[in-house]
Amino acid sequence: MSQFLHDFVVGIDVASEFSFVAMLAPDGQLIRKPFRIDHNPAGFQRLLQILKNEEERLNSKPIFFVESTGIYHLPLFFFLRSNDLKGFILNPLCVHSTKNHDIRKVKNDKKDAVAIAQLAKYQDVKVSLVPEPQILSLRMLVREYFALADNLTDCKLRFMNDLRLLFPGFTDVFKQPFSAAALAILKDYPSPKSLQSADLEKLTGIVATAARRGSAWAKQKLSQLFDYAQIAETIGLSSVALEEKLRIQIQTIEAMEANMAKIEAAIRRLILSDAFPAGARKNIELLDAMPGIGFISAVTLVAEMGDFSKFQSAKAFAAFFGVDPAVKESGKFKGDRIQMSKRGSKLGRRVLYTIAMASIRKTKKGDAINPVLKAYYESKIASKKKKVALVAVMHKLLHYIFAVLREQKPFEIRKPEDHRLKHMGQLKLVA
């Protein structure tokens, strides 16, 4: 049974420029026909006044519900909440199933608003609170960071394809074509022909400065590159237009990297600000200290999960990130393939994958980043596919993270036998 069964419930179907509102009285009756409000100050104030009038008439405080629609619902949500109204966000998956219960496929914003109100009033659906504005701001910054990162990856891929056409063999000399030294050369000399006309002494100074290495190293590298250029000139694609394209790509790459650095700086300022929740700041610090988890990954996990206190168990925590198992069953059919549900935070899952990969790697000295997870992964791949084993590592990581955030204590790498010894010690104390 819904906890809002006897409440004055308001369902709001949100679009980009307007919303439709449906109001159900405590007895379940539709108060008036669903109506439209525009997303502007006048529209918001009109809705607020209607809700206040009905609150006085019914002697019941309204509780409003909106479907999560990207960012469109946020201005209205925060406006109503700032005016002392209680509101919740509904999962689009739940709302969608309710909206489409009719045999006829009819899309109607008024009906959708009623469906949202009825869903909240009569069904025991899980609701979520919008995170604090600071956490929401953090989430937006993080998602912009990753959007830029994805664009940067695409740009670098195009750059590499063009470089192979224009200057074959360049990456044989400069293994890192996006290093400061490599880009310093390609900015002015993007082709074998242009390079051979360069002033060697001048270019040596540019490369040495960019790489922060000595002139001897720069001369040795450039000598190799000049040798490759003579060969590449005969097999590479000679194109002035492609040279210009390469220069533009370099400018784009540097601009995106600079913007990513600015976003990271903005993230750090936000976290250190007095307005930022102290608990969330502590959670970021705890996760950042875990092996395999960097600053951006720690920030992303905290931004995506929001208020950690809403998770009552590690199982619920894993489900939020969509790393919980999903098995298909119907009638007598019993599925035997266990897969991730993938119904949680997509970005959170992406970051967890990165952390899992980092956790099972080794340092330059040959030491495992996380020896326990490394051993766990190797035990899994003995009988399972690498992808399945990696998902298992992600799942175990979430249990580690949950324990760290629940206990508010730094992570400690413990081998299974350490856990057994600790457990036996606790049993002895109890006895």
Domain CATH number, residue 85: 3.30.420.140
Q: Each residue of 347-383: pLDDT tens digit?
A: 999 999 999 999 999 888 888 889 899 999 999 988 8
Sequence letter at residue 196: Q
Q: Each residue of 382-430: pLDDT tens digit?
A: 888 999 999 999 999 999 999 999 999 999 876 655 545 554 454 444 4
By DSSP bridging, strand 86-90 and strand 329-330 are unpaired
Same-domain status, 256 and 146: yes
**Residue carrying structure tokens 């600079």:** 258
End residue of a domain, out of 213, 233, 265 = 265
Task: Kindly list the strands in the beta sheet with 127-128, ordered across the sheet, starting from the edge strand earlier in the chain.
Answer: 35-38, 18-24, 8-14, 62-67, 86-90, 127-128
Range of the domain at 161: 137-265
Q: What is the pTM of this model?
A: 0.79
Same-domain status, 319 and 370: yes
Paired strand residues for 36: 20
Same-domain status, 28 and 119: yes
- Which secondary-structure segment (H or E) carries 214? none
Asked, for residue 3, whether it belongs to a domain, the answer is no
What would the mean pLDDT of 11-40 be, rounded to a whole number?
94
Same-domain status, 54 and 123: yes
Q: Tell me what pLDDT residue 325 has.
A: 67
Same-domain status, 261 and 323: no
Same-domain status, 300 and 420: yes
Give me the CATH number covering residue 261.
Answer: 1.10.287
Q: Each residue of 56-109: pLDDT tens digit?
A: 999 999 999 998 777 788 899 989 999 999 998 887 655 655 555 554 444 567
Q: Tell me what pLDDT residue 310 has.
A: 86
DSSP 148: H
Q: Tell me what pLDDT residue 422 has.
A: 52
Same-domain status, 102 and 202: no
Q: Which of 139, 123, 120 shows the shortest CA–CA distance to 131?
A: 139
Asked, for residue 410, whether it belongs to a domain, the answer is yes
Q: Are 131 and 140 in contact, with CB atoms under 8 Å apart? A: no
Same-domain status, 261 and 380: no
> What is the C-alpha separation between 175 and 239, in angstroms, rounded?
24
Asked, for residue 1, whether it belongs to a domain, the answer is no
Same-domain status, 107 and 149: no
Asked, for residue 153, whether it belongs to a domain, the answer is yes
Asked, for residue 271, whether it belongs to a domain, the answer is no
End residue of a domain, out of 214, 244, 265 = 265
Same-domain status, 146 and 51: no
What SS3 class is residue 248?
Answer: helix
Angle at 236 between CA 235 and CA 242, to 5 degrees: 165
* Residue 174, CA atoms < 13 Å, CB-side half-sphere: 26
DSSP 419-431: HHHHHHHHHHHH-
Which residue did the predictor score with more confidence, 102 or 7?
Answer: 7
Same-domain status, 214 and 284: no
Same-domain status, 409 and 284: yes
User: Other C-beta atoms within 10 Å of 339: how many?
Assistant: 12
Q: Give the list of residues 6+ apart from residue 390 with CB closer than 8 angstroms, or none.
A: 353, 356, 357, 360, 377
End residue of a domain, out of 241, 265, 289 = 265
Q: Tell me what pLDDT residue 430 has.
A: 42
Q: Tell me what pLDDT residue 198 has.
A: 86
Report the number of distinct structural domains present in the chain.
Answer: 3
Asked, for residue 2, whether it belongs to a domain, the answer is no
